[in-house]
Chain A
Amino acid sequence: MRRFFYTYMRTEIFLANCNQLNDMREFVRQAASDAGLDAKQIYAVQLATDEACSNIIEHAYEGRGNEQIEITCNVQDDGLIIILHDHGKTFDLDAVGEPNLTANLSNRQLGGLGVYMIRRLMDEIHFESSPESGNILTMIKRKSKGDKE
């Protein structure tokens, strides 16, 4: 039985607050499912979005409760593109160091873990930051080759 996928672009604006993370995850979960991603990929998309939005809330907006995050889901034939847009503090993603994942327990620190996870969970990420446009994070997850029912 052939499954038909459709393409669309949908944008929603969320309050930049941790109690909105569940709604943000649900928004991308639906898009990931519509894009034909499998269960593992759908979870990865939710997790990456959560990590990115948590960072925006905590770092870009420094925990202020009244800001917004704009999330765009672009469902395509070959997968999903997610774009997160915030107007918080400009940021240099490349400057975030990798956490040391081989450190023993006492030396294990968690700085940079969220960014590291995003890079590993998604197939491709792009980041632009400017005072005029704000911060724009693009994350791409591609469908696996072959039919996934």
Chain B
Amino acid sequence: MEITTKQYKRCDLVTVKGRVDSATAPQLSDAFDAIVHGGHYKIAVDLGGLDYMSSAGLRALLAVQKLCKRYNHGEVVLAAVPVRIHEAMDLAGFLPLFKTFDDGTAAVGYF
């Protein structure tokens, strides 16, 4: 799994590629931790390059969403969610919890 973070004027864009499971999800959480530790709570997550994500990834996303929205007037939005992952998120009841965009540019533009 590969994670890159890019800072924009009004938000941070996290791009995730590869597979998120119980082994790699901690790295994703670390990347989110680094962003919020820096006082940034508006995050766009580009999942376009993701081949696979288990509930470990959903947990990481939920944790950062709670932190950003509830305590810091921020928000985490998702971009380019692959169809299989979108289906799994739907199954897990996650779609109402995240705004989704077609691509990273649109997601960044939201902020």
Contact = CB atoms under 8 A, between A and B. Distances in A.
Nearest to A58: B22
B56, B58, B87, B97 — which one has the most chain A CB atoms within 10 A of its CB? B56
A66 interface: no
Contacts of B70: 105-106
A71 to B, nearest CB: 16
Size range of the chain B interface in the assembly: 20 to 34
A69 interface: no
Interface stretch (B6-14, B30-38, B88-96, B100-108): B88-96
A46 B55 CA distance: 12
Interface stretch (A3-11, A16-24, A81-89, A134-142): A16-24
B66 interface: yes
A108 B89 CA distance: 14
A117 B23 contact: no
A110 B88 CA distance: 14
Contacts of B69: 105
Contacts of A46: 52
A113 B92 contact: yes
Contact of B19 (A22, A39, A54, A101): A22
Nearest to B19: A22
Nearest to A53: B22
A54 B52 CA distance: 15
B73 to A, nearest CB: 14
B98 to A, nearest CB: 10
Contacts of B23: 18-19, 21-22
Interface of A: 18-19, 21-22, 25, 39-40, 43, 46-47, 50-51, 54, 57-58, 99, 101-102, 105-106, 108, 110, 113-114, 116-117, 120-121
6 contacts: A25-B52, A43-B87, A50-B21, A108-B66, A116-B92, A117-B55
